[in-house]
A and B are shown apart, each in its own frame.
Chain A
Amino acid sequence: MLKVRFLGAETSFFPAVRERRRGPGLFRVKAGLTIRTRLILLASAALVVLIATNAYLTRVLSENSAGMVEAAGLLTGIEQADSARIAFGEVRYWMTDLAVSQLTLSERKAAAARARMERHLDKLAPWNPERIAAVRSELAQFDEFAAKAVDQYTNDRRVVGNSLLAQARRHSMAVDQLLESIVGDLTGEALAARERVVAEAAAATRLSRIVVSAAVLVGALLTVLLLRSIVVPLHRLVVAMDGLNAGNVDVPIPEAGADEIGAVARTLAKFRDTLTEERRRERELRAAHDELKAAQASLIQAEKMASLGQLTAGIAHEIKNPLNFVNNFASLSVELLDELKAAARPAIAALGEDKRADVDEVVEMLTSNLQKIAEHGRRADGIVKSMLEHSRGGTGERRRVDLNGLIEEALNLAYHGARAQDQSFNITLERNLDRAITLIELVPQDVTRVFLNLFGNGFYAANKRRKETNDPQFKPSLKVTTRDLGEAVEIRVRDNGTGIPPELRDRLFQPFFTTKPTGEGTGLGLSISWDIVTQQHGGTIAVDSEVGEFTEFTIRLPRSRQSQPSGMTA
């Protein structure tokens, strides 16, 4: 029973082992019980062993003392039997003496010895009544013969007395023999009882030694296991805590058992989850923050563009009227001068040679100046027109068109335009057009303007690099790539020209920003393109470039229109 209880306690230390049979798991204690329960179980088991051992030893001791009492009883019996023999010897002596002497003293002595013997026999009687009865019967016959013998001797019939005495002697010998055998038996029994007691005590000692040793061993083993079951998970927890403290949320956290360490592990796991969640939130926040920053930057850029666009439109309109007068009055003045020349011809002809030449020269110069005013006025007018077109926006109709076709068209137009301006111009055109692009809704004439601008810029940059490098191996090239992104289409225009230094990229889309020599560019092309792509079509335009290597513009046009029509109709 002790063993079973013990095993019960022992197995309950290894619920994981019982349930899962995991390989090295005999010592890998999974705590199914709380530490308190485990300690109570261990202490109880030790106590049970102790109490059981104690009870057993007590019982053995009490049995031992009973054996001792029995042995002592036997010794008393031996004493009584011996005393009875001695008393009987006295009886015999005094009876013989009585028979011879006929003295009352002898008779009294014999009776006293006889009474003593009776007392001893009485004490022996409970031990073995049958044999004592046999003794008493022999004794009675002895008494009888002895008494008769005494009577015969008293009457001096010696012969009869002698024969009676001989009979009495026979019975007295039987009594002696019986008593002797009783003493022998009692002595044997006492010896046996003593041996039994000694053997039982030795066996009890041995057994209690074995039990105590086993209890100590098992107790020690269980203590070690118990300590392990606490220390090992505690150590894992400490490792996990250190890891978490160092900021490593991937650190393994020990499985949570049902005990106190399990509770700590659960709390730690929750802490880890909280930490992970916080990290995730922090990352999200940071991403959102970055996005916001980017959005803010692009908003600022858009705002700059919008205000610049409005400013441009305002300036254009303000300039347009005075410019109108400049142009008109300049050309009018040319006409008026002609009329003046015609009207004054006779008068001039009447002048002297020198004067006439002077007048002619002044009129000539005036005419030329007025023509120059008109010419530059027209140039300014062209710029103003571009600016107005730029700010106007949203004039064209949206149509569903084949983007690749639009690009091909613009590419041809740009190429032949460039060739017409500069006979030495040449460039390799690469088309990498995604034929799977389906029709897309946009304002074709405006998007074409964007393409013309980008292609024109690309041609210019590639050609400029060709002129600057003096490398006959250098081949100017422009590559147009289109790609269907599903919800949007992407157009990449890449040239291998001079590239754009990073410090200029921010200003690239600002109106009037140009790197071309005066008269070659208005600085409005990319600004207009930016407006058309972002404002009018709700798309994006981005630039990537490396000085002396390439420039690549990436345009994305969404299929669904998200932007409001840009309302710059000032």
Chain B
Amino acid sequence: MSFSILVVDDEPDVAEMFRQRFRREARQGTYVLHFAASGEEALDKLSNGVRPELIVILSDINMPGMDGLTLLREIKTRRPDLPVMMVTAYGDDERRRQAEAAGAFQFLTKPVDFELLKEELRRLPDGSV
């Protein structure tokens, strides 16, 4: 059984990094990674449907166009149960508070600790491998 993870970040290298980090899991078929370079693209992907089943969205906060917090609120109106993890270089309390208020599942700071991230993913509903 494999699950999809959608990573939203305007930096193209983020995709490469996630691919390499999740190389083993991808090979094993645990997770399928999807990438969106903007909030708008992420919403498009969401409405087009993601296969296999999407269990989490990881989103940057500072992005040109729609920012991560707006995206978060938009996702929450469409898919209230879908966990969204905010990943940002700005770990200040204000953003953390806003993210929590908007219903973020988790708040991670860059640089991303992938071991911790994988741990978190395993604890997701339907995410246990």
Contact = CB atoms under 8 A, between A and B. Distances in A.
Interface of A: 317, 320-321, 323-325, 327-329, 332, 336, 381, 388, 392, 395, 569-570
A395 B92 contact: yes
Nearest to B21: A332
A317 B21 CA distance: 23
A323 B111 contact: yes
Contacts of B89: 317, 320-321, 324
Contacts of A320: 89, 110-111
Contact of A329 (B17, B91, B93, B94): B17
Contact of A328 (B21, B90, B93): B21
Contact of B20 (A324, A327, A336, A569): A336
Contacts of A336: 20
Interface string B78-110: 000000000001111110000000000000001
B93 A395 contact: yes
A381 B112 CA distance: 12
B17 A332 contact: yes
Nearest to A331: B114
A205 B3 CA distance: 153
A395 B93 CA distance: 7
Interface of B: 11, 13, 17, 20-21, 89-94, 110-112, 114
B94 A569 contact: yes
A327 B89 CA distance: 14
A132 B111 CA distance: 169
Nearest to A396: B93
A332 B92 contact: no
B111 A327 contact: yes
- Name which of B11, B20, B111, B114 has the most chain A CB atoms within 10 A of its CB: B111
A317 B62 CA distance: 11
A147 B93 CA distance: 177
Nearest to B110: A324
Contacts of B92: 392, 395, 569
Shortest beta-carbon contacts, A-B, top 5: A324-B111, A320-B89, A324-B110, A332-B20, A395-B93
Given A317-B89, A320-B89, A328 B11 contact: no
28 contacts: A317-B89, A317-B90, A321-B11, A321-B89, A321-B110, A324-B89, A324-B110, A324-B111, A324-B112, A325-B11, A325-B13, A327-B111, A328-B17, A328-B21, A328-B111, A329-B17, A329-B20, A332-B17, A332-B20, A336-B20, A381-B111, A388-B90, A388-B91, A392-B92, A395-B92, A569-B92, A569-B94, A570-B90
